[in-house]
Amino acid sequence: MKIGITGSQGYIGSKLLPYLESKGHACFGFDTGFFLDCTIYSSIKNNFVKKDVREITVSDIGDLDVLIHLAGIANDPFGKLEPSKVFDPVRDYTKKLAEMCKSIGVKFIFASSCSIYGEATSPLLDEASIPNPVTPYSINKLQSENDLEALADKHFSPIALRLSTLFGMSPRIRLDMAINMFVGMAHTKGEIVLSSTGEQWRPFVHINDVCEAFRMAAESSYDEGKLLVLNIGSDSNNITVFDVAKMVASKFDNCKVHRLVDNPELDNSLLKDEKLQDGVDKRNYIVSFKKMDNYFPNFRCSWSLERGIEDIKLNFEHIGLTSEIFQDSKYYRLQYLDYLYMAKKIDKDMYWTKI
């Protein structure tokens, strides 16, 4: 198949595009290039055009079989902008892309998030559970799912993959993802500092398993005339943030786990998280993945937390991760967008400036 990927030069896209090509698919990416230079190791050269997703037209995607839509804004609004200024355009272009795909018969796969469950309304959440998003990012994901649901009909069967919290190596790694950050802290500082109490539950999923899930979705024959929503992850990878931090710490000699609420003197810019109030994170959810098993019967997440943590540790040792590299803003999405904005490289509408 010929598969297009928006956000192809991001954390997931940098891994997904070459992975799909290794499975025999012809892939082509679109990316505005915000994180093009944010590589921690050399990325495989791949076919992509530097183009803002808002400027994609039917002619750009007309010969595709599948469009995987990864592009979006992760985490908090940057530059102290109002959330609507950041996330309303994301919703608009997601809907526009889906409408274009529907009009020309291209399968549309959307990267959603388990974060839409937010503040849990029940002990175990599945796709039929009532979402309770508590951040602009997760509200945006749910709004786009609702738009896709409204577009779906007998001619258009979009798929939304609600991804668990990712971890694992990528050329454009995000060190603002919990497990990646914890391993980086342990490796460079010999201690892990939690910005929250750590009592909240999360499902985690390795980036390699996410790539395989997107392949399953792209190759699936799903055609039921409605939006298919699937949680992506593993029941065994549901764990509290504090427990996963302790798991990481156990891989390093004499590594301690601290909580910022108990040790405010350990605060630094890397721990900045405007979603927390006095160390409390309202996002707390345990997720079921049974529906995924029904639709992708040949797929199982093969990366356990233990295996994934050990792999990141080995890679950081191989790269020679230093404190300087670990604290570089280009591995933290919010901080790097703040840098681009304050340096006047991008404007408040998230377009590259002319200067």
| pLDDT score recorded for residue 280 | 63
Which helix or strand (DSSP H or E) is residue 167 part of? strand 165-167
Q: Higher pLDDT residue, 263 or 99?
A: 99
For residues 231 and 164, the answer to whether their CB atoms sit within 8 Å is: yes
How many percent of the chain have pLDDT more than 90?
81
**Range 306-321 average pLDDT:** 97
Number of H helices, E strands in the chain: 11, 12
User: What is the mean pLDDT of the segment spanning 298-326?
Assistant: 96
Write down the pLDDT at residue 73: 86
Residue 168: what residue type?
G
pLDDT at 279 over 80: no
pLDDT at 115: 95
Dist. CA 252–CA 230, nearest whole Å:
35
DSSP secondary-structure letter at 65?
A: S
Q: Give pLDDT, residue 268.
A: 67
Contact 65, 42 (CB under 8 A): no
49-79 pLDDT tens trace? 999 999 999 999 999 999 999 999 876 666 6
Examine the pLDDT at 278 and tell me if it is beyond 60. no
pLDDT at 275: 53
Is the model's pLDDT at 272 over the cut of 70?
no
Nearest Cα to Cα of residue 99 among 133, 140, 69: 69
Nearest Cα to 47, choosing from 91, 3, 1?
3
pLDDT at 270 over 80: no
Pick the CATH number of 2-173+203-238+282-304 from 3.40.50.300, 3.60.20.10, 1.20.1260.10, 3.40.50.720: 3.40.50.720
Rounded Cα gap, residues 339 and 352, in angstroms: 13
Q: Which residue would you say has higher pLDDT here, 44 or 156?
A: 156
Query: Nearest to residue 14, comparing CAs of 49, 39, 51?
Result: 39
pLDDT band at 81 (very low <50, low <70, confident <90, very high): confident
Q: How far apart are CA 11 and CA 261, in angstroms?
A: 30
User: Residue 343 corresponds to which amino acid?
Assistant: A
